[in-house]
A and B are shown apart, each in its own frame.
Chain A
């Protein structure tokens, strides 16, 4: 460390923007918080890439610990990851969570300067993806990933990458259909204008041409753009069930046939303008409904937590193997910080497993030889050897996802579908009675035109539009407040919930602001000794404690030794210092709690740093607002926080401790069988089953780019206190939809008045439909804003 200087300025790290420790690392007059940040700067400056620092201040992120990438040398794993491979060039897409600013884009698109074997790289900022094309003869995939790691952009390669899902193709077809429908509507409107204003003798000769052109444009509108409605209507009729698409399909068909009839027999101008306008608006509503967030994934399961490969031992040699190929009886080699991917028995080594994924309990658990370690545990100390007893897909944790009784089997009925039945019935009754009346009057021409006109004018298109417009307006209000809901249907589910279940760790407590306190006493000299020891470690706890100690003098160390996941030891002058877990200490200490970082100097126990999770602020106030709902707390932890929970929650709240993921899931099932609609708030993989089973699962997170389990919505930790407002707004949203339905019915009554008399002119239909649509869109937008303001969300 030749250029470490003692600089006592209060400044930020030039690379990552963290507070500088008292003794910082510097190079080229720039200060860095750690050797990692300085290393990145060095690479960038050597490659003439310092523009990175010009676009934003402190754009970098601290480097994480080294990861093992041997598996990227395996040809079958490479083949799974690559998008494209041809002769000497390959293309691959990585998901890089660290992408956050324009500097990231600039740097990652100039990768070719670091290594000329990289041809080009392109970023999709919102999806946080980079697509790199490179020459695989000159740079291997592993070297490519190592290059990215070195500059602080570690790609996240998980099992889910291998199983790529292509859901966007549906979306694409819809956009093309909207384009065609817009084109058709514009042209048909143009040709219908002369009709609206009355035809002069001069224009009469064109009437025939315009009629046929309109008919020609109606054909793709019906059979290409409107195809989905027919398909959906036929399938739902086959299941003896009427959904909203059934009357819509009927109207499109009636409009088309009446237009064709009138044009071919030259009896009138037809309803081509109404038809194309209707199809266009319907597709717009559908698009609004499908719109979703690119940067957030709601459908994650265990696969996105698991690495794609694991090291096995075969004939005494380490060999990386793809997770899907792990068989019963395989020997796994799990290093510090790696995840156990399948249920296995400990064969060799000292296992301290962080089981927080599985149980929610954050304290590492000690496992002895021969004990079963469940998949999802993370090793926190030295490397261990395990023998697999169950394949990955059948392990205890993954079993949570394979449970068959999830809510998907329950038919979710939206307001629209339930009302569509009565609506269709009403329209049919009016249409048939009008026809019967005119047939009775011996006027078959009027009977036919009354029948078609009633069906045309009673169009439930407003119903199909008001729901997506209202709900997507609500979604965008939520969005600004840090509440990301999966889709518009989920908002309706949210409004129906009447019971709330909370997880404790990470949901009611915050993982980000851990509070560190020292029990014991230290004098200034001892503080310097401890700080000198800790500054050599990159462990997050060391960094936290170092910041609290706030020392600006350091001593030099000898015999420095770090036992991964356990602690540190070194000699400073004639003192020997230990810092770390109890089992690390040279002396046995009794009557103290297990957790925390314990300090021993010269065989004298000095005390320990305790890391306590902080409760989120405003919980008591929040719970008093939510007291009209049934509430329950499910914690995977021990009951040490019982008294605290009792002061936060109302007396009727049930609180359960020591809950396994399966017990959480079962509790939700029991409540649902009792007729409750459950909203579940959780954060970890241990809540995943419960989140999926609940009617509305919310994953709480402090950083939306972190991994969250599959759910219906993601909520930022800082927005937890707005929860009552969110629920209330979703309820108000349903009220808005119902009101707009009433407005639409009023419009329909005017139309039906003319329609039953058989005197509906195409102009009336063409004007009535846009007017009612515009009214509804304005009403839903304004009403949503008013309610959002009332609930203090704007």
Chain B
């Protein structure tokens, strides 16, 4: 059962890593604006390539 010592240690370490990740994310401002990115992702890509595709078909 001594393996439990190792498992307890690694579980605490894992949790610490996640906590650290949250600290990093929060301090770099990733939670400052949680509304706009949700809208931003719905924008389509620019349809600017239409013409070049047409050229491609006709050439």
Q: Which residues of A contact B (CB under 8 A)?
A: 48, 51, 55, 102, 105-106, 109, 123-127, 172, 175-176, 179-180, 183, 186-187, 190-191, 202, 205-206, 209, 213
Given the interface pairs A48-B48, A105-B39, A186-B15, the reply to whether A172 lies near B1 with Cβ below 8 Å is: no
- Nearest-neighbour CB distance to chain B for A681, whole angstroms, equals 31
20 other contacts beyond A186-B15, A191-B8, A206-B8, with CB at 8 A cut-off?
A51-B44, A51-B47, A55-B43, A102-B43, A106-B43, A109-B40, A124-B32, A124-B36, A175-B31, A176-B26, A179-B19, A179-B26, A183-B15, A183-B19, A187-B12, A187-B15, A205-B1, A206-B4, A209-B5, A209-B8
Contact B12 A123 (CB under 8 A): no
Contact call B12/A179, Cβ cutoff below 8 A = no
Residues of A within 8 A of B44 (CB): 51
Interface residue B33 (Cβ < 8 Å from any Cβ of A): yes
CA distance A186 to B15 in the complex (A): 9
In angstroms, how far is the closest chain B Cβ from the Cβ of A98?
Answer: 16
Contact A124 B19 (CB under 8 A): no
**Contact partners of A55 in chain B: CB under 8 A:** 43
Closest chain B residue, CB of each to CB of A183: B19
Q: Give the complex CA separation of A206 and B3 in angstroms.
A: 12
Q: Which residue of A lies closest to B5 (CB)?
A: A209
Q: Does chain A have a CB within 8 A of B56?
A: no
Query: 5 A-B pairs, CB-CB below 8 angstroms?
Result: A51-B47, A102-B42, A124-B32, A124-B33, A183-B18
When distances are taken between beta carbons in the complex, the residues of chain A under 8 Å from B47 are: 51
A213 and B7 alpha carbons, distance in the complex (Å): 14
**Which residues of A sit under 8 angstroms from B35, Cβ to Cβ?**
125-126
In the complex, which residues of chain A have a beta carbon less than 8 angstroms from the beta carbon of B18?
Answer: 183
CA distance A759 to B27 in the complex (A): 45
Residues of A within 8 A of B16 (CB): 183
B23 within 8 A of partner (CB): yes
- Taking the closest CB of chain A, its distance from the CB of B21, in whole angstroms, is 10
Other-chain contact of B40, A105, A180, A190 (Cβ < 8 Å): A105
Contacts of A106 in B (CB 8 A): 43
Also in contact, A176 and B15, with CB within 8 A (given A102-B39, A213-B8) = no
Contacts of A209 in B (CB 8 A): 5, 8
B42 & A180 in contact (Cβ 8 Å cutoff): no
* Contact residues in B for A105 (Cβ distance below 8 Å): 36, 39-40
- Distance of A51 Cα from B42 Cα, bound (Å): 13
How far apart are the CA atoms of A179 and B31 in the complex, in Å? 13
Question: Which residues of chain A are near B23, meaning CB under 8 Å?
Answer: 176, 179
- Roughly how many angstroms separate A105 CA and B16 CA in the complex, as a whole number? 37
Say how far B47's CB is from chain A's closest CB, in angstroms.
8
Chain B contacts for A190, CB-based, 8 A: 11
B36 adjacent to A123 (CB under 8 Å): yes
A104's nearest neighbour on chain B, judged by CB, is B39
How long is the Cα–Cα vector from A51 to B22 in the complex, in angstroms? Answer: 37
Across the interface, name the chain B residue whose C-beta is closest to A168: B32
B19-59: which residues lie under 8 A (CB-CB) from chain A?
A: 19, 22-23, 26, 31-33, 35-36, 39-40, 42-44, 46-48
Minimum CB–CB distance from B46 to chain A (whole Å) comes to 8
The interface residues of chain A lying within 8 Å CB-to-CB of B4 are 206
Q: How far is the CB of B38 from chain A (nearest CB, A)?
A: 9
Check B15–A175 contact: CB distance below 8 A: no
Roughly how many angstroms separate A155 CA and B46 CA in the complex, as a whole number?
27
Report B-chain residues with C-beta under 8 Å of the C-beta of A172.
Answer: 26
Complex: how many Å from CA A126 to CA B47? 28
Closest A residue to B16 using CB positions:
A183
Q: Which residues of A contact B39 (CB under 8 A)?
A: 102, 105, 125
A109 to B36, CA, bound (A): 11
Q: A102-B39, A105-B40, A126-B33 are in contact. Are A213 and B48 (CB under 8 A)?
A: no
CB nearest neighbor in B for A186 = B15
A444 to B48, CA, bound (A): 84
Residues in B with CB closer than 8 Å to A213 are 8, 12
Chain A residue numbers with a CB within 8 Å of B31 are: 175
4 closest residue pairs by CB, A with B: A125-B36, A124-B33, A183-B19, A102-B39
CA distance A124 to B29 in the complex (A): 12
Cβ–Cβ < 8 Å partners of B11 in chain A: 190
A180 engages B15 (CB within 8 Å): no
CA distance in complex: A187, B19 (Å): 12
Closest to A216 in B: B12
| A residues in contact with B43, CB < 8 Å | 55, 102, 106
Which residues of A are found within 8 Å of B42, using beta-carbon distances? 102
When distances are taken between beta carbons in the complex, the residues of chain B under 8 Å from A186 are: 15
CA distance A123 to B38 in the complex (A): 12
A314 to chain B, nearest CB (A): 43
Q: How far is the CB of A193 from chain B (nearest CB, A)?
A: 12
A175→B31 CA distance, assembly (Å): 11
Q: How far is the CA of A206 from the CA of B39 in the complex (A)?
A: 51
Q: Which residues of A contact B40 (CB under 8 A)?
A: 105, 109
Cα–Cα, bound, A213→B8 (Å):
10
How near does chain B come to A279, taking the closest CB pair, in angstroms?
Answer: 15
Query: Shortest distance in angstroms between B51's beta carbon and chain A's nearest beta carbon?
Result: 11
Taking the closest CB of chain B, its distance from the CB of A697, in whole angstroms, is 29
Cα separation A176 to B31 with both chains bound (whole Å): 12
Q: In the assembled complex, how far is the CB of residue A608 from the closest CB belonging to chain B, in whole angstroms?
A: 48
Distance (Å) between the CB of A51 and the closest chain B CB?
8
Minimum CB–CB distance from B19 to chain A (whole Å) comes to: 5
Is the CB–CB distance between A179 and B32 below 8 Å? no
Q: Tell me the complex Cα distance, A449–B4, Å.
A: 33
Q: Is B33 in contact with A180, judged by CB distance below 8 angstroms? A: no
Which residues in B have their C-beta under 8 angstroms from that of A180?
A: 19
CA distance A127 to B36 in the complex (A): 10
B26 to chain A: which residues have CB within 8 Å? Answer: 172, 175-176, 179
Q: How far is the CA of A55 from the CA of B42 in the complex (A)?
A: 10
Residues of B within 8 A of A51 (CB): 44, 46-47
**Distance in Å: Cβ of B29 to nearest Cβ of chain A:** 10
Question: Complex: how many Å from CA A206 to CA B2?
Answer: 10
Q: Give complex CA distance A176, B28 in Å.
A: 13
Q: How far is the CA of A55 from the CA of B26 in the complex (A)?
A: 31
Complex CA–CA separation, A732 to B9 (angstroms)? 50
**Complex: how many Å from CA A58 to CA B12?**
55
CA distance A183 to B21 in the complex (A): 12
